[in-house]
Amino acid sequence: MSLTDKAHVDESEHVAVKPRKRGCLGHCIKLWWAYLIGFIVLVILVVCLVIFVGIPKIAQSKLDDAELTIDGIVITNTQSNQLSMAINSTIRSDGKIHATIAGFVGDMYLEDLEGHIPFARINFPETTSDALQVVNISQTLSLVDVTAITTFNTWLLTSSLLRVTVHGDTTVKVKGVAKLFPVTFHKTIEMPGLNLLSGLAVTNSSIKLGGDENGDNFFATVNIPNTSLFTIELGNTSFHNYLLGKDVGTVFIDDLTLVPGDANKYPMRAAISQNDILDTLGESPYCDKTNGVLPFQLRGKSVVNHGQNITYFANALASANQTVEIDLGTPVKALLGKLIPCGGL
């Protein structure tokens, strides 16, 4: 641009100093080389602008417009310091430009937690700008920051919706241009959480007076609804069991793997204080209104998978109480032939 400007300036100065009636043609012919250089420079400039400013801007804005959806996340092989994480996802774009996005490391963090500390670093594979891209990832995650993953699990457990951001720097290669352009992959996804496992139901309960060889005296079937997209291998879990604010024992659910949907049906066993239960069953409203259905609260105590303490799940499960109504009237009636009357036996 500077050269063309200069050509114009030269010309006008010329005209100003020595006004003649020869018209433009003579000048144009005389200064043809200046116009030519000006033109070439302009072309180079435009091409450079397109390549170095235009394409990266377009590439970045196309990437920003693309939509990332998570179809499923599977967490297995959970150990104290590592786990396997698989993610099935889809990236949708308008597919109008032909580009390749290089593989990159994406940090995943909770969008709504200040600090944006990553709880996972995911290796995204190379993708293209096709309108529909299926991106399935499977990798082992070393848990460098156990606090961050515990916090994430706590949010996942306690929220009905949570926002997770994937952020990473990568490059785009546009068809026909050799240069790689730096771009940033930044997507915030809204996903359903486990909503405190609400809807958890305990049915088919039975009592064994005096307990079995492990000391367990209560058995039932538990249904744990999973509203999230996560499949999570927990392992052997145990829970504090509170009755009206008092810790009355421990509930165990073995080999627990939560899957999305309603298919989480597990046998549960518990070692609970029989005296506390019988006392409470003899009080109103349990003796006269609820037919022996008692309001318990469960709070995570431990998670052990193949001998390893999984604190990032245990602490998440310990962060909140889940209220669950358990029918003890039916098993007591089966045992004693009657419900506990008000005032006790």
Residues lying near ligand NAG in the complex (CB under 6 A) are found at 71-74, 86-88, 134, 136, 199, 204, 206, 219, 221, 225-227, 235-236, 242, 245, 254-255, 260-262, 297, 299, 304-309, 320-321
Query: Nearest approach, Cβ of 315 to ligand NAG (angstroms)?
Result: 11
d(CA 122, CA 137): 8
Q: Which is nearer to ligand NAG, 274 or 315 (CB)?
A: 315
Closest alpha carbon to 277 in 212, 217, 199? 217
Query: Nearest approach, Cβ of 132 to ligand NAG (angstroms)?
Result: 11
Query: Nearest approach, Cβ of 202 to ligand NAG (angstroms)?
Result: 11
Q: Which is nearer to ligand NAG, 181 or 286 (CB)?
A: 286
Q: Which is nearer to ligand NAG, 4 or 242 (CB)?
A: 242
Query: Nearest approach, Cβ of 231 to ligand NAG (angstroms)?
Result: 7
Query: Nearest approach, Cβ of 171 to ligand NAG (angstroms)?
Result: 25
Q: Which is nearer to ligand NAG, 210 or 245 (CB)?
A: 245
Q: Which is nearer to ligand NAG, 14 or 299 (CB)?
A: 299
Query: Nearest approach, Cβ of 126 to ligand NAG (angstroms)?
Result: 15
Residue 338, token pair as written in the block: 């009657």
Q: What is the CA radius of gyration of the chain?
A: 34
Query: Nearest approach, Cβ of 83 to ligand NAG (angstroms)?
Result: 13
What residue is closest to ligand NAG based on CB? 72
Token match 């597990």: residue?
Answer: 266
Q: Which is nearer to ligand NAG, 136 or 188 (CB)?
A: 136
d(CA 167, CA 157): 23
Q: Which is nearer to ligand NAG, 182 or 267 (CB)?
A: 267
Query: Nearest approach, Cβ of 334 to ligand NAG (angstroms)?
Result: 12
d(CA 281, CA 290): 10
Q: Which is nearer to ligand NAG, 10 or 255 (CB)?
A: 255
* Contact (CB, 8 A) for 298 and 249: no
Query: Nearest approach, Cβ of 136 to ligand NAG (angstroms)?
Result: 4
Which contacts (CB < 8 Å, 24+ apart) does range 32-41 have? 34/3, 34/6, 34/7, 34/10, 35/4, 35/7, 37/3, 38/3, 38/4, 38/7, 39/4, 41/1, 41/2, 41/3, 41/4
Q: Which is nearer to ligand NAG, 121 or 299 (CB)?
A: 299
Instruction: Provide the residue type at 49 as one letter.
Output: L
